[in-house]
């Protein structure tokens, strides 16, 4: 789950943008937006900037960043400018482009008229440089130093308008640590930052950091600590969908390990629903589906066939598809051979232990099929059909299946057979429970979507004006009616007068 | 460096522990002294860069302590030692300072068995996941393989395999858990039988429950409230009366009202 899962996650919210604009121009407009966000105290603009981050990240290179910094920081003596340029190699064309900038820019804008950009822009640049450094493994060490410096700078500045950018910076910090393989060492840093963020009600940073910490626990298989961490923190409700999606995925993983399959299933469903479309983030979608198939099988459900036909999943899930087939057939030998064939894949996806747990489900499915097709079957035959080792085992296994409610039936020990009872009727209190649960789900979904709607500011004014107009019209109408009434009243008079 | 008296105490403990038969009482007193010594030297919960030899010693003391608690059948004490060992096993491993201990997997395996005997399956799996081994090599380690197999058989219902494997323990200490494990299995089997059989001949019931004598079975049957018919030689299981299917009126009304309210809101 190393790389595949993370990268697409970033693609979250990647918005289609104008491909024609050059990266430098885009950075410039982004900085302008950040300035606007800071001056109007409207975080919406910052979010818009950050949405373009993923697409922009791929088009960055040294020259682009240098040009952009040169354009934004027109004052050559600026401390921030020097601090930023330190991180970029002074390549030969640099002097040239810098010359162009310094001769070009002042001609359009006088040097002194351009005020120093807000600190948020500086952090934004640092974020861009950080992502740029992370592209090549040789720069990881450098990225780490930059990450530390940026975090210090962020904490020293301590501005609320910086929070959305700070969240992204934290993510980049986590990525740096992970690429260097030192994620375990970063935990104290994240935990401290998470405490600060929650004290400041900084939902964005909090959400990002909670995910970072969970990831670091799960990467080292520390499910116990991860679970305790989850119970001690509350995930901010106003966090972005992408963060929610990851959080639910991690929760699903924890719950699956703890055998809380239905909870895990709910979490994974949430993760899938909140995740960006499959095409933008295929890796995350695959990871969620892999885990969700394992959990579904453990719950005794068989995933739909159509799932494995989706183009995004077809190749990635081939091993899981084989496993599903084995479970469906209730064939232990097929299950074992599939398991050993795809062991390396499952191990890589960290689902191996979950899949191994399926063994008992395979047996249960087998027994269930037998109980449906026979009204009476000898233990010996069960043994042969399910490839069990001995009749004695078969008796215990059938007994357990009856106790667990997998099948309805009894064992007649003296005669050595199993008698299968009739199936339960389809009506009863449990049906109404399921029905209620579904209705509740639908109404909840409806209510949530109503809550999630955005209302533009001052939109009600328009309604007010419309209402005013309507009242006006009504009044006119009333007047007309009154006048008309006069006419009417006059009517009979006239008639009388006639 | 650890104070010299701590080191001599540790030597004594090792001697007392490896001696045959092992002197449990002496080990106990030595362990108590050693633990105080370790706390004073700041080694019980090491927090920084400690001397490597000291760390190894502290870990060995705790491991001996864990084995000692099992031999003297003090399970809560074993739990304490195990959680104290976690620091040494997990945190120092990632920093790759501490050489792995040969006793690490026996201790971990014992803890897994202990969780099994208490039927704490969820904890069992969490602990299993957190083992620093690749998942498909779990079965290659004899100390881990044993509990993993036991769990699989328990879940499947192959109780006879569990019964047969009880003597195949990879370490001496594993056998201390056999008795309580058998108790767990018997209860499991008994619950299955209650559900799956109407009646059973006494003799067969005894074999199914792995009882060797009839008197053991009879007392067990009494415990679970089974009706034993000695003259016919059968055990009849108390049938739970068919549950009356009552319509949960109040609940239905409530859900219907709620639904109506929601619908009202939407329209």
What range defines the domain where residue A365 resides?
359-420
- % of chain B at pLDDT higher than 70: 82
Ranking A15-24, A455-464, B197-206 by mean pLDDT, the lowest is A15-24
> Do the domain assignments include residue A288?
no
Q: Quote the pLDDT of residue A5.
A: 44
> Do the domain assignments include residue A100?
yes
Assess whether pLDDT exceeds 60 at residue A96: no
> Do the domain assignments include residue A452?
no
> Do the domain assignments include residue A22?
yes
Q: Quote the pLDDT of residue A292.
A: 92
From B156, B189, B247, residue closest to A359, measured CB to CB:
B156
Assess whether pLDDT exceeds 60 at residue A93: no
Q: In the structure, how many helices (H) and strands (E) does chain B have? A: 13, 3
Interface membership of A443 toward B (CB under 8 Å)? yes
Q: Would you say A34 and A121 are in contact if contact means Cβ atoms under 8 Å apart?
A: yes
- % of chain B at pLDDT higher than 90: 0
Cβ pair B155:A360 closer than 8 A: yes
**B residues 88-127 near A, CB within 8 Å?**
90, 94, 121-122, 125-127
d(CA B33, CA A112): 75
Q: Quote the pLDDT of residue A91.
A: 53
> Do the domain assignments include residue A386?
yes
Interface membership of B210 toward A (CB under 8 Å)? no
Q: Quote the pLDDT of residue B79.
A: 85
Last residue of a domain, one of A373, A400, A420: A420
> Do the domain assignments include residue A295?
no
Interface membership of A413 toward B (CB under 8 Å)? yes
d(CA B208, CA B202): 10
**Phi and psi dihedrals of A423, rounded to 5?**
-75, 155
Mutant choice from A253, A391, A398, A400 vs B, greatest count of B C-beta within 10 A: A400
Q: Which residue has the higher pLDDT, A154 or B98?
A: A154
Average pLDDT score, chain B? 77
Which of A271, A324, A277 has the alpha carbon at shortest distance from A301? A324
Mutant choice from A294, A413, A414 vs B, greatest count of B C-beta within 10 A: A413
Chain A residues closer than 8 Å to B122 by CB: 258-260
From B94, B247, B255, residue closest to A436, measured CB to CB:
B255
B51: which residues sit within 8 A by CB, 6+ positions away?
Answer: B1, B2
Last residue of a domain, one of A130, A153, A181: A181
> Do the domain assignments include residue A73?
yes
Indicate the pLDDT class of residue A165, thresholds 50, 70 and 90. confident
Interface membership of B191 toward A (CB under 8 Å)? yes
Assess whether pLDDT exceeds 60 at residue A388: yes
Cβ pair A223:B126 closer than 8 A: yes
Q: Which domains does chain B have, with CATH numbers?
A: 4-203 (1.25.40.990)
Average pLDDT score, chain A? 78
Assess whether pLDDT exceeds 60 at residue A103: no
Paired residues of B229 in beta bridges: B234
Residue of B nearest to A407 (CA): B196
pLDDT digits (tens, 9 = 90+) for A204-227: 889 999 999 999 888 888 888 899
**Length of chain B as a residue count:** 267
Model ipTM over 0.90: no
Interface membership of A411 toward B (CB under 8 Å)? yes
Number of structural domains chain A divides into: 2
Residue found under tokens 């036909």? A309
Q: Quote the pLDDT of residue A248.
A: 94
Instruction: Tell me what the mean pLDDT of segment A409-423 comes to.
Output: 75
Assess whether pLDDT exceeds 70 at residue B85: yes
Indicate the pLDDT class of residue B22, thresholds 50, 70 and 90. low
Cβ pair A399:B255 closer than 8 A: no
Cβ pair A443:B259 closer than 8 A: yes
- % of chain A at pLDDT higher than 90: 7
Cβ pair B136:A398 closer than 8 A: no
- % of chain A at pLDDT higher than 70: 84
d(CA A350, CA A81): 45
DSSP state of A423: P
Assess whether pLDDT exceeds 70 at residue A2: no
> Do the domain assignments include residue A170?
yes
Q: Would you say A272 and A285 are in contact if contact means Cβ atoms under 8 Å apart?
A: yes
Ranking A40-54, A112-126, A174-188, A375-389 by mean pLDDT, the lowest is A112-126
Cβ pair B136:A343 closer than 8 A: yes
Assess whether pLDDT exceeds 80 at residue A98: no
Chain A residues closer than 8 Å to B159 by CB: 396
d(CA A428, CA A433): 9
CATH code, A369 = 1.10.10.10
Q: Quote the pLDDT of residue A11.
A: 41
pLDDT digits (tens, 9 = 90+) for A104-124: 433 334 444 456 678 888 888
Assess whether pLDDT exceeds 70 at residue A102: no
pLDDT digits (tens, 9 = 90+) for A265-320: 989 988 988 888 877 888 888 999 999 999 988 887 888 888 888 888 888 888 89
Chain B residues closer than 8 Å to A396 by CB: 157-160, 189, 192, 208
Instruction: Tell me what the mean pLDDT of segment B198-223 comes to.
Output: 79
Q: Quote the pLDDT of residue B94.
A: 55
**Length of chain A as a residue count:** 498
Chain A residues closer than 8 Å to B191 by CB: 403
Which of A414, A378, A407 has the alpha carbon at shortest distance from A394? A378
Interface membership of A360 toward B (CB under 8 Å)? yes
Instruction: Tell me what the mean pLDDT of segment B204-231 comes to.
Output: 79
């Amino acid at each position: 789950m190393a790389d595949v899962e993370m990268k697409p996650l970033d693609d979250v919210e990647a918005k289609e943008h104008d491909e024609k604009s050059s990266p430098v121009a885009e950075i410039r407009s982004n900085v302008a937006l950040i300035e606007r966000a800071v001056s109007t105290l409207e975080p919406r603009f910052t979010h818009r900037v950050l949405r373009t981050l993923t697409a922009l990240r791929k088009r960055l290179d040294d020259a682009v960043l240098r040009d952009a910094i040169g354009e934004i920081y027109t004052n050559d003596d600026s401390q921030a400018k020097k601090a930023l340029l330190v991180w970029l190699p002074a390549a030969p064309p640099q002097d040239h482009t810098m010359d162009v900038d310094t001769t070009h820019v002042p001609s359009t804008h006088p040097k002194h008229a351009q005020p120093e950009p807000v600190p948020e822009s500086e952090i934004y640049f640092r974020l861009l440089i950080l992502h740029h450094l992370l592209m090549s493994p040789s720069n990881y060490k450098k990225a780490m130093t930059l990450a530390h410096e940026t975090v210090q700078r962020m904490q020293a500045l301590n501005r609320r308008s910086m929070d959305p950018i700070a969240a992204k910076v934290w993510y980049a910090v986590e990525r740096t640590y992970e690429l260097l393989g030192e994620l375990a060492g970063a935990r104290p840093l994240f935990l401290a930052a998470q405490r600060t963020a929650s004290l400041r009600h900084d939902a964005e940073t909090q959400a990002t950091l909670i995910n970072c910490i969970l990831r670091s626990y799960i990467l080292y298989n520390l499910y116990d600590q991860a679970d305790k961490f989850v119970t001690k923190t509350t995930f901010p409700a106003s966090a972005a969908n992408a963060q929610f999606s990851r959080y639910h995925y991690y929760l699903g993983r924890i719950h699956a390990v703890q055998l809380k399959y239905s909870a895990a299933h709910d979490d994974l469903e949430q993760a899938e629903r909140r995740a960006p479309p499959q095409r933008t983030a295929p890796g995350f979608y695959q990871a969620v589906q892999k885990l969700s198939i394992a959990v579904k099988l453990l719950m005794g459900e068989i995933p739909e066939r159509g799932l494995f036909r989706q183009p995004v999943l077809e190749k990635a899930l081939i091993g899981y598809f084989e496993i599903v087939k084995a479970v469906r057939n209730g064939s232990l030998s097929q299950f074992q051979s599939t398991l050993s064939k795809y062991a390396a894949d499952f191990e890589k996806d960290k689902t191996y232990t979950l899949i191994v747990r399926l063994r008992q489900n395979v047996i249960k499915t087998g027994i269930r099929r037998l109980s449906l097709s026979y009204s009476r079957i000898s233990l010996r035959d069960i043994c042969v059909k399910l490839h069990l080792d001995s009749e004695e085992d078969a008796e215990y296994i059938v007994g357990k299946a009856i106790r667990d409610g997998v099948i309805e039936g009894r064992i007649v020990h003296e005669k050595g057979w199993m008698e299968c009872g009739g199936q339960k009727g389809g009506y009863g209190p449990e049906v109404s429970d399921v029905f209620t649960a579904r209705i509740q789900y639908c109404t909840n979904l409806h209510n949530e979507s109503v809550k999630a709607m955005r209302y533009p500011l001052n939109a009600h004014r328009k309604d007010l004006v419309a209402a005013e107009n309507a009242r006006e019209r009504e009044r006119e109408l009333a007047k007309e009616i009154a006048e008309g009434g006069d006419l009417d009243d006059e009517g009979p008079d006239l008639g009388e007068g006639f | 460096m650890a104070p010299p008296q701590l080191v001599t105490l540790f030597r004594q403990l090792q001697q007392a522990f490896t001696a045959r038969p092992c002197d449990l009482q002496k080990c106990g007193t030595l362990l108590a002294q050693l633990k105080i010594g370790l706390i004073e030297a700041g080694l019980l919960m090491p927090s920084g860069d400690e001397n490597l030899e000291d760390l190894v010693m502290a870990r060995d003391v705790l491991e001996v302590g864990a084995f000692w608690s099992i031999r003297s059948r003090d399970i809560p004490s074993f739990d304490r030692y195990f959680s104290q060992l976690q620091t040494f096993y997990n945190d120092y491993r990632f920093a790759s300072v501490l050489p792995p201990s040969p006793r690490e997997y026996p201790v971990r395996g014992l803890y897994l068995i202990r969780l099994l005997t208490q039927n704490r399956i969820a904890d069992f799996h969490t602990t299993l996941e957190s083992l620093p081994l690749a998942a498909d090599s779990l079965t290659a380690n004899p100390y881990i393989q044993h509990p993993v197999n036991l769990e699989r058989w328990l879940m499947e219902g192959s109780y006879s395999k569990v019964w047969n494997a009880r003597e195949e323990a990879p370490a001496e200490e594993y056998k201390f858990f056999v008795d309580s494990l058998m108790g767990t299995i018997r209860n499991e089997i008994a619950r299955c039988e209650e559900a799956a059989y109407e009646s059973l001949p006494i003799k067969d019931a005894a074999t199914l429950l792995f009882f060797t004598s009839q008197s053991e079975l009879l007392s067990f049957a009494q415990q679970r409230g089974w009706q034993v018919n000695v003259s016919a030689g059968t055990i009849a299981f108390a049938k739970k009366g068919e549950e009356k299917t009552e319509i949960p009126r109040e609940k239905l009304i409530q859900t219907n009202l709620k639904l109506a309210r929601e619908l009202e809101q939407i329209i």
